[in-house]
Amino acid sequence: MPELPEVETIRQGLKKHTLFKRLKRALVMTPKMVRGEVGQLQEVLANNRFTDIDRVGKLLIFQLENSPLSMLLHLKMTGQLIYPVPGELVAGGHPFPEFNVDLPNKYTHLIFEFEDESSLYFNDLRQFGYVQLVTPKELVAVRAQYGLEPGMDDFTWENFSALVSGRATKLKPFLLSQQHIAGLGNIYADEVAFYAGVRPDRTLNSLTIAEKKKLYTGIQEIIASAVEHKGTTFRNYADHEGKRGGYAQFLQVYGRAGQKCQRCGQSNITKVKLAGRGTHFCEVCQK
């Protein structure tokens, strides 16, 4: 699932390349991926321009020039956005299908066409992603559903420790819950727990101060590093020099079930199901 670093990567790319470009029209091949009326979306977008692209957690927020409405776009489990630019890969989200296949393809459900003949493609293997127009008041309510966000000013130790204290919740579902910590998903939740040396099934009220501090630091360091490396989106992608990019090369536990732990070298990475999600950890390094 695309998480904060993957969504931030496409946000930065789209801001650079699509702001203030005149939209010609929105083509909707899969109406169920539009929340609300398809006709209204098309009417609002036609001849309009994106003036800013913001993000809260994993949700993209497009501001429009000629409308008080904002367009929300969520990639959910398998969404991807691709804006083909010669010599540059402006893309983000789920790594399948690979970004360099022909567009549109059978996973393309929405196309935002610009007047300069360029297009932004919204692909989604499983079609859980969506776009939705919201009023300013609705946008305030949407933003209020999100918790502390790594990288933002209010992600302070005081706020974090207050949030963690006294809860009987297990660590993994807590990290996944967007109303507590915005932007973390399955990959980075597992990596954060490993960084902190804490088992993902520990309850929050059993954590020591030192463990909470390591979690607080880990969330920030891992997210910052993943944003810098453009997330794990590009794990299958090699650039024009054949160099593989992305944060995937730094993953310590996620996707490494059965492999030797790179930190202790003693145990193989264990994979269990927790909070309904495949969860990876080291039995030696994490207490």
The residues of the shown chain that bind Zn ion, judged by CB under 5 A, are 261, 263-264, 282, 284-285
The CB-of-176 to Zn ion minimum distance in angstroms stands at 22
**Whether 5 contacts 230, CB under 8 Å:** yes
Which C-beta is closer to Zn ion: that of 167 or that of 263? Answer: 263
The CB-of-279 to Zn ion minimum distance in angstroms stands at 15
The CB-of-228 to Zn ion minimum distance in angstroms stands at 25
Which C-beta is closer to Zn ion: that of 220 or that of 268? Answer: 268
* Alpha-carbon span 287 to 272, nearest angstrom: 15
Which C-beta is closer to Zn ion: that of 131 or that of 269? Answer: 269
Tokens linked to 79:
């969404």
Catalytic site includes residue 277: yes
217: left (phi over 0), alpha (psi -120 to 50) or beta: alpha
Which C-beta is closer to Zn ion: that of 57 or that of 218? Answer: 218
Which C-beta is closer to Zn ion: that of 261 or that of 275? Answer: 261
Catalytic site includes residue 43: no
The CB-of-191 to Zn ion minimum distance in angstroms stands at 13
Q: Among 3, 8, 191, 211, which one carries the catalytic annotation?
A: 3
Rounded CA Rg of the chain: 20
Helical axes 209-228 vs 186-196, angle rounded to 10°: 130
Catalytic site includes residue 150: no
Burial 50-81 (b: 16+ CB within 10 A, else e): beebebbbbbbbbbbeeeebbbbbbbbbbbbb
* Alpha-carbon span 53 to 122, nearest angstrom: 16
Contacts of 3 (CB under 8 A, 6+ apart): 58, 183, 184, 185, 186, 187, 188, 226, 231
Q: Among 11, 55, 58, 172, which one carries the catalytic annotation?
A: 58
Q: Among 2, 5, 97, 150, which one carries the catalytic annotation?
A: 2
* Alpha-carbon span 194 to 200, nearest angstrom: 8
The CB-of-257 to Zn ion minimum distance in angstroms stands at 13
Q: Among 143, 263, 277, 283, which one carries the catalytic annotation?
A: 277
Instruction: Indicate which residues carry an active-site annotation.
Output: 2-3, 58, 277
